Amino acid sequence: MSDHKFEDEEKVKVGIATKDGQLGFLFTRGGLREGAGRKSTGITKKVSLTLSEDVWQEIEQACEEQNASRSQVFRNIIEAHFVKESKES
């Protein structure tokens, strides 16, 4: 491993956002700002999901076909289910 230094190398600092308490990585300029960054699509809740290997392969294939993340694919599946269910009620 070599110790390369770049003239334009930026220093990184770590800060904690006041809103959600998550760590943020910052360059020496700028800072954590309320409302900065990607807007939320909803509430984030962490879950663990056990599925068969075949189903996981189908999900991964859907991710590739849709050029989407797992979260996006799961969100689409779940939202489609609940929209369909509410129309049937």
Q: Is residue 15 part of a domain?
A: no
Count the domains in the chain: 1
- So what's the pLDDT on residue 51? 96
pTM score: 0.54
> Among the listed ranges 50-54, 57-61, 68-72, 81-85, which one has the minimum average pLDDT value?
81-85
DSSP labels for the chain?
------TTPPPEEEEE-TTT--EEEEESSS---TT-SSPP-S----------HHHHHHHHHHHHHHT--HHHHHHHHHHHHHHHHHHH-
Q: Is residue 24 part of a domain?
A: no
Q: Is residue 28 part of a domain?
A: no
Query: Using one digit for the tens of pLDDT, what is the confidence trace for 11-59?
Result: 655 565 555 666 665 555 555 566 677 777 788 889 999 999 999 999 9
Q: Is residue 14 part of a domain?
A: no
Give the structural domain span for 76: 53-88
Q: Is residue 43 part of a domain?
A: no
- Cβ atoms within 10 A of the Cβ of 73, count? 19
Q: Is residue 29 part of a domain?
A: no
Cα gap 17→11, rounded to integer Å: 19
Q: Is residue 74 part of a domain?
A: yes
**8 Å CB contact between 57 and 70:** no
